[in-house]
Amino acid sequence: MKHIKYLVLLGMFLCGVPLVNAYADAAGTPGSIAETEQRQAIQLILDNLATDPEIDAVLQNRQQIKNDIAGYNQKITQIQKEIGQLDQALAGIGDKNGEKSVVNQALSELVALKQQKELELVELRLLMMTAEEALKQLNHYIERQKTRETFFQEKPLWRILAEAQAAHYAPDRQTYTAAPKSQQTVLFLIVVTSLIFGLSCMPKVLNLIKAYSSPCNMVHIFMLLITQARVISKFFLGFVIFSTLFISLTFFMFSGHPPIVMGSLILYFYLVLRLLLQALIYRFRSASATSSNQPLSGAQGNVNLYAFSLISAVVIVFSSDYNIYQTSTGIAGALSSLLYFAWLLSLFMFSRYFCSSVQPAFWRYVKLPLLIAVLFLAGLECFGFRNLTDYVIVTTGYTFSIFALALIFYDSIDLLMESFRASKDMVVNRFSLTPVEEKRRVKTHKILGIGLKLYVVVSAIILVLHQWNITDTDNEKLFKFFLEGADFSGFIISPARITLALLLFVLSWPAIEYFKQFIDRSWLASADMTKSARDTFLTVSGYVGYAVVILLTLGVAGIKLTGLTVIIGALSVGIGFGLQNVVNNFISGLILMFERPIKKGDWIVVGTTEGYVKKISIRSTIVQTFDRSDVIVPNSELIANQVTNMMFDDQRGRLRVSVGVAYGSNTELVKRLLLEVAHSHNQVIMDGSTPEPRVYFQAFGDSSLNFDLLVHLKDVDLRIVVRSEMHMAIDKIFREHDIVIPFPQRDVHMKHNGVA
578 — pLDDT class (breaks 50, 70, 90): low
654-668 per-position pLDDT tens digit: 888 999 999 889 999
β-strand partners of 620:
634
Residues in the chain: 756
Domain boundaries of the chain, sorted by first residue:
2-150, 183-400, 401-435+442-478, 492-559, 577-645, 653-736
Task: Give the model's pLDDT for residue 490.
Answer: 59
pLDDT at 359: 82
| pLDDT (average), residues 482-494 | 69
Strand (E) or helix (H) holding 402: helix 386-430
**What's the CATH number for 577-645?**
2.30.30.60
Among the four given CATH numbers 3.60.40.10, 3.30.70.100, 1.20.80.30, 3.40.50.720, the one describing domain 653-736: 3.30.70.100
Q: Which pTM does this prediction carry?
A: 0.62
Tell how far CA 626 is from the center of its chain. Answer: 44
The reported pLDDT for the residue numbered 756 is 52
pLDDT recorded at residue 181: 52
Question: CA of 179: how far to CAs of 245, 261, 335, 470, in Å?
Answer: 14, 8, 21, 30
Instruction: Decide which of 508 and 167 is more confident.
Output: 508
Q: Are β-strands 705-713 and 620-625 bridged in parallel, bridged antiparallel, or unpaired? A: unpaired
Q: Please, which pLDDT band fits residue 97 given cuts at 50, 70 and 90? A: low
pLDDT, one tens digit per residue, over 627-650 is: 888 888 888 888 888 888 877 666
The per-residue pLDDT of the chain, averaged, comes to: 76
Check residue 576 and give its pLDDT: 61
Question: What pLDDT sits at residue 652?
Answer: 79
pLDDT at 178: 45
Give the pLDDT band (50/70/90) at residue 21. Answer: very low
Task: Read off the pLDDT of residues 332-365 as tens digits, 9 standing for 90 and up.
Answer: 677 788 888 999 999 999 999 888 888 888 888 8
Q: Does 12 have pLDDT greater than 80? A: no
Residue 291 has pLDDT above 80, yes or no: no
More confident residue, 257 or 281: 281
Higher pLDDT, 328 or 10: 328
**CA atoms of 430 and 150, how far apart (whole Å):** 62
Does residue 606 sit in helix, strand or coil? strand
User: How far, in Å, CA of 314 to CA of 307, rounded?
Assistant: 11
Residue 712, SS3? Answer: strand
